[in-house]
Structure 1
Amino acid sequence: MAEGLVGTSRRSLTLAHVLLILGCVIVAFPIYYVTVASTHSLRTILNPPLPMLPGPETIENYREAVSGGINRIGGVGVDRLLLNTTIVALGIAFGKIVISMASAYAIVFFRFPLRMVCFWLIFITLMLPVEVRILPTYKVMVDLGLIDTYAGLILPLIASATATLLFRQFFMTIPNELFEAARVDGAGPWRFFKDILLPLSATNIAALFVILFIYGWTQYLWPLLVTNSNSMNTIVIALRKMISFADADTPWDLVMVTCVLAILPPVLIVVLMQRWFVKGLVETEK
């Protein structure tokens, strides 16, 4: 009986590993294909089948994409696109975290009239993403002269009801006695926030940063509307502009290089902050 259970358990474990490996292969193969394609010439890509091993054009393709500029997007290099996208992603991530922490701190630790009404008004904005309010938001950006600027790309996206809710739920787990003890010791609201809440929130901030950075990095609709010049494009917008309806008019070798470089920063963020990300998601007690 015991041997039968052990055998069944081993078969289940083996099946689980096979399914996981198969899933990894399915997910990783398109990335591998794009990476290999970025090392071949345009002629090789347009004459299938594409070789499954890296080609000899790696240095030339990456050099041309980064420093040579791409004709279909006005000669802008991928280095400029990566800079734009990094500024936007970091601005959105830090902006959301700062505003959400400040609003959650005020709602939890301060007593003022209509405090919960303010919280529910913030929460209701979940039903009003930028896609819903895009026309008035665009009108405001035009009136303020923020078209084709980093501020125009970042400011409409930095408010986050979800992050406010998450910080509020965490702050509510902190005993009121800690706040009272800090006040008795002479710590004002700012010092309590800086010296106590901020260190306690480190893992939550790290987990949210990873999510919000990727959210900002992959933005498409709003950057498409608020930028007119190619030099202000994000890398996602540039990728769409590089692709033509006719394969012969599309520089597929440079498109593949741009895809690889667009994938790398989010992957690095996830890999480097994986421990903090997982810890921030699973920790419930501080």
Structure 2
Amino acid sequence: MRISRKKLQHLGIHAILILTLLAVAFPIYYAFIMATHIHQDAYAFPPILTPGDQLMPNITEAWSRVDMSVVLNNSLIIAVIVSIGKIVFSILAAFAFTHFKFRGSWFLFPLCMVTQMMPLPVRVIPLYQTMANLGWLNTYRALTIPYLASTTGIILFRQFYMTVPEELADAARVDGASPMQYLRNILIPLSWTNIAALLVIEFVYMWNEYLWPNIVTTASDMRVAQMGLRMLYTS
């Protein structure tokens, strides 16, 4: 029985996808396996690939060394606030750039794109001085407000809004809808895919953030998850 070329291509594609999935999933599986063993087993050769019986003792010890409930709660609060805040500000800014004509708009959007070229480490010193002058060190404000403006989010929503037919805005205007009603009732329902994508990206980014929280916080009750993991590693 001969197998068609198209079927062979499908089999090849599925084989590649399965191998890729295994390559991505194996580190996660191995990390879980190591969590069930004593730390000396991490250096064993050949590697141990079967579960052990030390999972709960390891979790208990890790929880006792670092107050994980505090750092996880802080990271969750910060990630949620920043993710939602970025979405709100990005939607409003993108709507202004695409549906309103105002003086200087030709300059402001390129300026936003230029800020995307400046990573956080470049802005650390002036940002820290600003937070210190405002008295915001060791507060959620210092951990969230500098992240609320998102060039990535503005570009994402602006490019999407530019693809929405102008006739929808004209029809809403004829029906007596205000600009905010048009945004709330038409554009936002059309943007759920973009909102979900930006929410996931920003949540993961903020959850993994280490540099800025490590700079603006010294109090133990304001540490985030990545700082807790670092303390656990060094202890």
Residue segments in structure 1 that go unaligned for 5+ positions in a row: 71-75, 245-249, 251-286
Equivalent position of 2:119 in the other structure: 129
Looking at structure 2, the residues matched to 65 and 136 of structure 1 have their Cα atoms a distance apart, in angstroms, of 36
Equivalent position of 1:37 in the other structure: 34
For residue 57 of structure 1, the aligned residue among 54, 59, 62 is 54
Deviation at 1:238, TM superposition (A): 1.8
For residue 182 of structure 2, the aligned residue among 192, 197, 205 is 192
Equivalent position of 1:216 in the other structure: 206
Q: Is the 8 A contact 1:81 1:232 kept in 2?
A: yes
Specify whether residues 188 and 47 from structure 1 end up closer, same or farther in structure 2 by C-alpha distance, changes over 3 A only.
Answer: closer
Residue segments in structure 2 that go unaligned for 5+ positions in a row: none
For residue 48 of structure 1, the aligned residue among 44, 50, 60 is 44
Looking at structure 2, the residues matched to 12 and 177 of structure 1 have their Cα atoms a distance apart, in angstroms, of 44
Looking at structure 1, the residues matched to 208 and 183 of structure 2 have their Cα atoms a distance apart, in angstroms, of 32
Q: Is the 8 A contact 2:79 2:203 kept in 1?
A: yes
Looking at structure 2, the residues matched to 91 and 112 of structure 1 have their Cα atoms a distance apart, in angstroms, of 30
Looking at structure 2, the residues matched to 130 and 91 of structure 1 have their Cα atoms a distance apart, in angstroms, of 19
Deviation at 1:129, TM superposition (A): 2.3
Deviation at 1:113, TM superposition (A): 1.3
Equivalent position of 1:93 in the other structure: 83
For residue 165 of structure 2, the aligned residue among 152, 171, 175 is 175
Alignment of 1:6-17 (within 5 A): 6=4, 9-17=6-14
TM-score between the two structures when normalised by the length of structure 1:
0.74
Could you say what the CA RMSD is over the residues aligned between the two structures, in angstroms?
A: 2.2
Q: Tell me how many residue pairs correspond in the alignment.
A: 233
Partner SS for 2:120:
coil
Deviations 1:71-118 (A, max 9, x none): xxxxx4222221111112112211211111111111111121122212
Partner SS for 2:122:
coil
Looking at structure 2, the residues matched to 101 and 148 of structure 1 have their Cα atoms a distance apart, in angstroms, of 29
Partner SS for 1:151:
helix
Partner SS for 1:177:
helix
TM-score between the two structures when normalised by the length of structure 2:
0.88
Equivalent position of 2:22 in the other structure: 25
